[in-house]
C-alpha cells in the first residue's frame, strides 16, 4: 500500500465519520420531531448492538453482519471489474433454496451441511452465470438483467416453498434443515453461529483473489477499461463471466448459511421474508467499504449493529419501528455517500484515462 493510497483511506475514514455524524444528527431531529427522546433512542441503539459489556448484543450484531458481508463481497468483486451487479438478492434466494432442497433429502447425518452449502453455492453460481452470459454474449445491461433475475428467483423460491418443499405439518415454512446439518452457535443463547467465521474466511479469500492472483489482476484491469484489458492480453468477456460466477457463488453461500446457521427455524419462512433484502443491503455495505473486501468486514458490522440496535430503539426508547427504519435508512444513506463519491471519482478518472487511450 503506497503512502498516497494510505492517505486517501485516512481521508476517507474522516469523511465516513463526518457522514455518520450528519446522519445521526438528522436522525435525532426526526426522532425529537416525532415526540421521542433522541438521546435515549441512540442509547438504546448502542446498548443493544455494539455493547462491549453484553456479549449477547455483540453476537447479535455479528449475526446480522454475516450475510451482508457476503452479499457486499458479491457487489464489490463485480464493481472491481466495472460491473454494476445487483443480483445478490436473487442469488441469496437460490442459495437458500439449494440448502432447503438438501434438507428435504434423506442423507447420512454428516452429509447435510456440506451438501447444503455446496448446492447453495452451485445454485447461486448458476444464477450469476445467467446474468453473466447475457452481459458477455449479448451486452445486455447487467442492472436490468440482475433485477429481473432477482424477481424470477423470488418467485421460484416462493413456488418451491408453497408447493414443493413445504413442511407437511407447518405449511407456513419449508422443511427445516435437520439438526445434524445445522452450524453450531458460537455464543450460547445468541443467534451467532459458525456461519460468521465462514463468511469472514470467504471475504478474506475474495481479498486474496483480487490482489494476489492473476484472475484478480485481470478483474481489476478490466475494471479500468476494456481496451486496456485487451491490450494487456486479458479476455474481458471471460473475466466478467468469472466475476458473475464468483459473485453468485458468494451470495449463494450467504443464502445457504442463512438456512444452516440462523436459529430458530432453519428454513425459508412465509414470503421468504427471512432471506429478503440481504442482497440489496449488501450494496450499501460494499459502498461503505469502498468495494474493498477487507473494509467490507467493518462496514458489515456497522450495518449489522444498526439492525441489531433497532430492537433497543423500540424496546428501550419506545420509538416505533417505522421511525427506527426511517432514521436508520438516513444513517445508511449518509454513510454510503463518501464511498459513492469515491467510486464515482474513480470511474471519472478511468474514463479520462480511457479517453486518452482512445477508448
Partner 1 sequence: MKNTGIAKSTALILLLVVIVAVVGVVIYMSLTQPTPAQTKTSPTTPSPTTTLPTTGAATTPAGKTAIAVVYDIGGRGDLSFNDMAYLGGNRAAREFGLELKEVQSTTEADYLPNLRTLAREGKYLVIIAVGFLMTDAITQVADEFPNQLFAIIDGYVEKPNVLSVLFKEHEGSALVGALAAMVARYYNYSAVGIVLGMEIPVLYKFEAGYYWGVRYGEKIYNEKTGVNASPLRIIYTYTGAFNDPARGKTATQAQLGMGAGVVYNVAGATGLGIFEAVEEYCKSQGKTQGPPFAIGVDADQDWIKPGFIIASMMKRVDVGVYEAVRRALDYYAGKISTYGGVLELGLKEGGVGVSTLDDLDTFLKIAIQAGRKDINRDEIYAKVKAMRDSLPSWIWDAVKNLEDQLKNNPEAVQVYGLTFADIASRVPYSSESIQYVRSTLKVG
Q: Which chain residues interact with partner 1 by CB under 8 A? A: 7-8, 11-12, 14-15, 18-19, 22-23, 26, 29-30, 33-36, 48, 56, 60, 158, 162-163, 166, 169-172, 189-191, 258, 262-265, 269-271, 273-274, 276-277, 308, 310-312, 314-315, 318, 320-322, 325, 330, 333-334, 337-338, 340-342, 344-345
What is the C-alpha to C-alpha distance for residues 219 and 216, in angstroms, rounded to an integer? 5
Taking Cα atoms as reference points, which of 156, 150, 155 lies closest to residue 71?
Answer: 150
Q: CB 280 → partner 1: shortest distance, Å?
A: 13
Based on CB atoms, which residue is closest to partner 1, 9 or 217? 9
The vertex-146 CA angle with 285 and 81, nearest 5°, equals 60
Q: CB 158 → partner 1: shortest distance, Å?
A: 8
Q: Which residue is it, cell 486496456? A: 228
Q: CB 232 → partner 1: shortest distance, Å?
A: 25
SS3 of residue 185 by DSSP: strand
What is the C-alpha to C-alpha distance for residues 337 and 317, in angstroms, rounded to an integer? 28
What is the C-alpha to C-alpha distance for residues 326 and 42, in angstroms, rounded to an integer? 14
Based on CB atoms, which residue is closest to partner 1, 69 or 222? 69
Q: What is the dihedral of CA 306, 310, 313, 314, to 10 degrees?
A: 180
Q: CB 88 → partner 1: shortest distance, Å?
A: 16
CB 69, CB 296: distance < 8 Å: yes
CB 96, CB 157: distance < 8 Å: yes
Based on CB atoms, which residue is closest to partner 1, 235 or 274? 274
Q: CB 4 → partner 1: shortest distance, Å?
A: 9
Based on CB atoms, which residue is closest to partner 1, 219 or 256? 256
Based on CB atoms, which residue is closest to partner 1, 174 or 218? 174
Q: CB 123 → partner 1: shortest distance, Å?
A: 20
- Helices 112-138 and 236-261, packing angle to 10 deg: 150
Q: CB 241 → partner 1: shortest distance, Å?
A: 32
Based on CB atoms, which residue is closest to partner 1, 131 or 324? 324
CB 77, CB 210: distance < 8 Å: yes
What is the C-alpha to C-alpha distance for residues 330 and 273, in angstroms, rounded to an integer? 23
CB 337, CB 72: distance < 8 Å: no
Based on CB atoms, which residue is closest to partner 1, 237 or 277? 277
Amino acid at each position: 500500500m503506497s503512502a498516497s493510497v494510505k492517505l486517501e483511506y485516512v481521508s476517507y475514514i474522516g469523511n465516513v465519520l463526518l457522514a455518520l455524524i450528519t446522519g445521526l444528527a438528522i436522525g435525532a431531529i426526526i426522532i425529537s420531531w416525532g415526540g421521542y427522546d433522541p438521546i435515549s433512542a441512540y442509547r438504546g441503539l448502542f446498548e443493544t448492538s455494539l455493547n462491549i459489556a453484553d456479549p449477547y448484543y455483540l453476537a447479535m450484531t455479528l449475526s446480522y453482519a454475516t450475510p451482508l458481508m457476503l452479499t457486499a463481497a458479491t457487489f464489490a468483486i463485480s464493481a472491481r471489474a466495472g460491473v454494476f451487479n445487483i443480483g445478490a438478492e436473487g442469488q441469496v434466494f437460490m442459495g437458500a433454496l439449494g440448502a432447503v432442497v438438501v434438507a428435504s433429502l434423506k442423507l447420512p447425518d454428516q452429509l447435510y451441511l456440506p451438501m447444503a452449502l455446496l448446492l447453495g453455492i452451485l445454485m447461486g453460481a448458476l444464477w450469476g452465470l445467467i446474468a453473466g452470459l447475457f452481459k458477455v454474449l449479448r451486452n445486455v445491461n447487467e442492472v436490468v438483467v440482475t433485477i429481473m433475475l432477482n424477481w424470477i428467483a423470488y418467485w421460484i423460491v416462493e413456488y418451491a416453498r408453497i408447493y414443493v418443499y413445504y413442511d407437511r405439518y407447518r405449511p407456513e415454512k419449508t422443511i427445516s434443515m435437520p439438526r445434524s446439518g445445522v452450524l453450531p452457535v458460537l455464543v450460547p443463547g445468541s443467534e451467532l453461529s459458525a456461519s460468521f467465521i465462514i463468511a469472514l474466511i470467504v471475504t478474506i479469500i475474495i481479498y486474496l483473489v483480487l490482489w494476489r492472483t492473476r484472475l484478480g489482476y485481470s478483474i481489476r484491469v478490466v475494471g479500468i477499461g476494456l481496451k486496456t484489458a485487451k491490450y494487456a492480453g486479458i479476455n474481458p468477456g471471460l473475466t466478467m463471466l468469472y466475476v458473475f460466477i464468483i459473485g453468485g457463488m458468494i451470495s449463494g453461500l450467504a443464502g445457504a448459511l442463512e438456512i444452516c446457521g440462523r436459529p430458530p427455524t432453519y428454513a425459508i419462512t412465509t414470503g421468504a421474508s427471512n432471506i429478503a433484502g440481504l442482497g440489496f443491503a449488501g450494496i450499501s455495505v460494499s459502498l461503505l467499504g469502498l468495494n474493498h473486501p477487507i473494509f467490507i468486514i467493518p462496514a458489515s458490522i456497522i450495518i449489522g449493529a444498526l439492525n441489531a440496535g433497532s430492537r433497543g430503539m423500540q424496546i428501550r426508547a419506545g420509538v416505533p419501528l417505522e421511525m427506527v427504519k426511517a432514521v436508520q435508512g438516513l444513517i445508511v444513506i449518509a454513510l454510503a455517500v463518501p464511498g459513492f463519491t469515491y467510486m464515482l471519482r474513480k470511474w471519472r478518472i478511468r474514463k479520462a484515462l480511457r479517453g486518452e487511450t482512445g477508448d
